């Protein structure tokens, strides 16, 4: 039966990886394999276990208890993401991100590359790498009209956004997962991963400025007057970003789960959004008579634009990995892997390279079940760095890459030829930096 469960997981994983070829949304195989795996466990009465991280051993449990435990952990991540997504959509409702365009004053390609690179690095640490990529490529399309030039910029934005998301607990779901799972704390994560992430971003951008594609200046572009601006756009941008940054502070002060702080931040942002829009309605009312009025509410509009397929994908894949963990398969696999490759750094490095091919969300979820290390053990920080930045090596290796591929119609092999080697140099540079800081500084 365990072989059947593993086969189901591999087939589901394969379907997720080949999402674009099969033209089937990845949430479908994720939800299907999750339900089937747990159904087999229940019908076959397979023994389930909980991992005791202190004793580094498996403890017998009951299926109802273990499933409820994993559902609770998954719900923490999902509610956190729902709050963050809603705040971002509220900012976008007021066209707050267009304020960023005011920072761009130069026409030099090198100068623009550094501006977009720094913005991607900083923004992705706050609003996550996927959203940062969408925002910056949208602005890029307003600033650079030459498509060939724009493709180069988009490729470097992917690298910078993934590097920026790796060091922040709210910057990438693969970093958020171990943070919410109490594998890492905010300050330790930043102290271990910030400098390697900076190296991962600076090296590729620095090398790229020497390439012919970034020589000279861009053509002057006329101001786009079609974009509707809101007088409160800048205010909502700074308020929303501050509210998201407040979440780790709230967790540190109260020791409550991060989703509690995110709900408080959402409540504050939503309040100001309702005041600024002058929409005097009750957002909890959904009767048909008030439909016309509800569309005026920025909060209701933002909630309706959230990517629910992504949320359901996280639910499916995290509970599917939890099934493998509950059977003790991940724990036993980790033991065998440690015997085969005693050096954990090599194993985690391979995870990073593998995340360019395999979806990094289940990869990190699996690693969390494989290693029975304590909170803030350096291995968790290295996993966060590797999974977050390794996906840049292929355009399909990260959510930022996939969305950029869709927005700019970037060819897979063009990216492989032009950008992948820059991403690898950045990843390797940051990886070596992490090991040096861990061994000789911290």
Are 151 and 215 in the same domain?
yes
Confidence of residue 161 (pLDDT cuts 50, 70, 90): very high
Range in 148-152, 224-228, 285-289, 424-428 the model is least confident about: 285-289
| Residue of 257 and 232 predicted with greater confidence | 257
Same domain, yes or no: 184 and 205: yes
**Are residues 351 and 255 located together in one domain of the fold?**
yes
Look at residue 311 and tell me whether its pLDDT is greater than 80: yes
**With 90 as the cut, is the pLDDT of residue 331 above it?**
no
pLDDT (tens digit, 9 = 90+) per residue, 104-151? 778 889 999 999 999 999 999 998 888 888 888 888 888 888 888 999
Do 341 and 422 reside in the same domain of the chain? yes
* 52: phi then psi, degrees, rounded to nearest 5: -90, 105
Mean pLDDT for 431-439 is: 94
Per the CB < 8 A criterion, the answer to whether 115 and 106 are in contact is yes
Tell me what pLDDT residue 428 has.
Answer: 95
pLDDT at 99: 80
Give backbone dihedrals phi and psi of 297, rounded to 5 degrees, phi first. -85, 120
Does residue 102 sit in the same domain as residue 173? Answer: yes
Asked if 29 and 102 sit in the same domain, the reply is no
pLDDT score at 220: 66
Structure tokens given for 420: 């992948």
Average pLDDT over residues 417-433: 94
The pLDDT value given to residue 222: 56
Nearest to 17 by CA among 424, 402, 407, 413: 402
Is residue 51 very low, low, confident or very high in pLDDT (cuts 50, 70, 90)? low
- Do both 110 and 17 map to the same domain? no
The model's pLDDT over 264-282, given as tens digits with 9 standing for 90+, comes to 999 999 999 988 886 444 4
Give residue for tokens 């719900």: 75
Going by C-beta distance under 8 Å and a sequence separation of 6 or more, which residues neighbour residue 248? 169, 170, 186, 258, 261
Residues 102 and 246 reside in one and the same domain: yes
Candidate from 83-92, 167-176, 356-365, 413-422 with smallest mean pLDDT: 356-365
Cα–Cα distance for residue pair 179/175, rounded to 1 Å: 6
Find the helix or strand (DSSP H, E) in which 374 lies.
none
If one counts the domains in the chain, the total is: 2
Residue-wise pLDDT tens digits, 169-191:
988 888 888 998 889 999 999 99
Same domain for 30 and 138, yes or no, is: no
Same domain for 12 and 160?
A: no
Which position has the token pair 């053509």? 219
- Both 21 and 141 in one domain: the answer is no
- The pLDDT > 90 percentage for the chain reads 33
Distances (CA, A) of 379 to 57, 169, 174, 257, 434: 18, 16, 14, 22, 11
Question: Tokens 């390279």 map to which residue?
Answer: 353
157 pLDDT band, cuts 50/70/90, is very high
CA distance linking residue 155 with residue 107, whole number of Å: 19
What is the reported pLDDT for 291?
47
Residue 294: band (very low, low, confident or very high) from pLDDT cuts 50, 70, 90: very low
Kindly state the average pLDDT of the residues 16-30.
Answer: 81
* Per-residue pLDDT tens over the stretch 357-409: 776 777 787 788 777 788 889 999 999 999 889 989 988 778 788 788 878 88
- What is residue 62's predicted lDDT score, i.e. its pLDDT? 86
Q: Is the pLDDT of residue 54 over 70?
A: no
Q: Work out the mean pLDDT of the chain and round it to a whole number.
A: 84
Give me the mean pLDDT over the 225-248 stretch. Answer: 80
What is the pLDDT at residue 292? 43
Between 91 and 307, whose confidence is greater? 91
CB 320 within 8 A of CB 37: yes
**What residue numbers bound the domain in which 5 lies?**
1-46
Model pLDDT, residue 281? 44
d(CA 346, CA 431): 11
CA distance 394 to 390: 9
| Straight-line distance from the first to the last Cα atom of the chain, in angstroms, rounded to the nearest whole number | 45
Tokens representing 241 are 């970003």
Asked if the model's pLDDT at residue 78 lies above 60, the reply is: yes
pLDDT of residue 282: 46
Q: Are residues 1 and 61 in the same domain?
A: no
Average pLDDT over every residue of 308-327? 85
């Amino acid at each position: 039966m365990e072989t059947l469960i593993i086969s189901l997981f591999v087939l589901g994983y394969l379907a997720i990886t080949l999402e674009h070829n099969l033209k089937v949304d990845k949430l479908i195989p994720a939800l299907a394999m999750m339900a089937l795996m747990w159904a087999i466990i229940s019908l076959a009465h397979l023994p389930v276990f909980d991992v005791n991280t202190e004793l580094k051993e498996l403890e017998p449990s009951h299926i109802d208890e273990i499933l409820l435990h994993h559902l609770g952990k998954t719900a923490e991540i999902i509610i956190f993401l729902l709050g963050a997504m809603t705040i971002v959509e509220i900012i976008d409702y007021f066209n707050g991100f267009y304020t960023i365009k005011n920072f761009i004053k130069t026409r030099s390609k090198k100068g623009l590359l550094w501006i977009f690179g720094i913005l991607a690095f900083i923004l992705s640490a706050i609003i996550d790498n996927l959203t940062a990529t969408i925002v910056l490529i949208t602005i890029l399309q307003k600033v650079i009209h030459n498509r060939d030039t724009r493709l180069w910029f988009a490729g470097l934005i992917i690298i910078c956004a993934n590097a920026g998301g790796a060091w922040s607990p709210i910057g990438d779901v693969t970093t958020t997962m171990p943070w919410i799972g109490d594998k890492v704390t905010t300050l330790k994560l930043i102290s271990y991963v910030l400098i390697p992430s900076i190296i991962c971003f600076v090296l590729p951008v620095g090398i790229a400025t020497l390439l012919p594609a970034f020589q000279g200046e861009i053509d002057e572009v006329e101001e786009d007057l079609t974009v509707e601006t809101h007088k409160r756009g800048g205010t909502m941008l700074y308020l929303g970003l501050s509210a998201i940054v407040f979440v780790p502070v709230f967790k540190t002060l109260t020791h409550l789960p991060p989703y509690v702080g995110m709900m408080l931040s959402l409540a504050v942002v939503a309040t100001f959004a309702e005041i600024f829009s002058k929409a005097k309605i009750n957002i909890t009312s959904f009767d048909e008579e008030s439909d016309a009025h509800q569309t005026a509410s920025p909060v209701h509009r933002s909630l309706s634009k959230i990517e629910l397929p992504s949320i359901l994908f996280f639910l499916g894949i995290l509970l599917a990995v939890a099934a493998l963990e509950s059977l003790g398969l991940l724990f036993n696999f980790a033991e065998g892997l440690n015997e085969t490759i005693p050096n954990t750094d090599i194993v985690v490095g391979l995870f990073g390279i593998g995340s360019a091919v395999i979806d990094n969300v289940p990869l990190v979820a699996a690693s969390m079940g494989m290693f029975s290390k304590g909170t803030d053990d350096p291995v968790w920080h290295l996993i966060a760095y590797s999974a977050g930045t390794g996906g840049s090596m292929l355009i399909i290796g990260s959510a930022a890459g996939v969305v950029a591929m869709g927005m700019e119609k970037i060819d897979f092999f063009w990216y492989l030829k032009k950008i992948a080697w820059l991403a690898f140099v950045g990843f390797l540079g940051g990886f070596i930096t992490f090991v040096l800081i861990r061994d000789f500084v911290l």
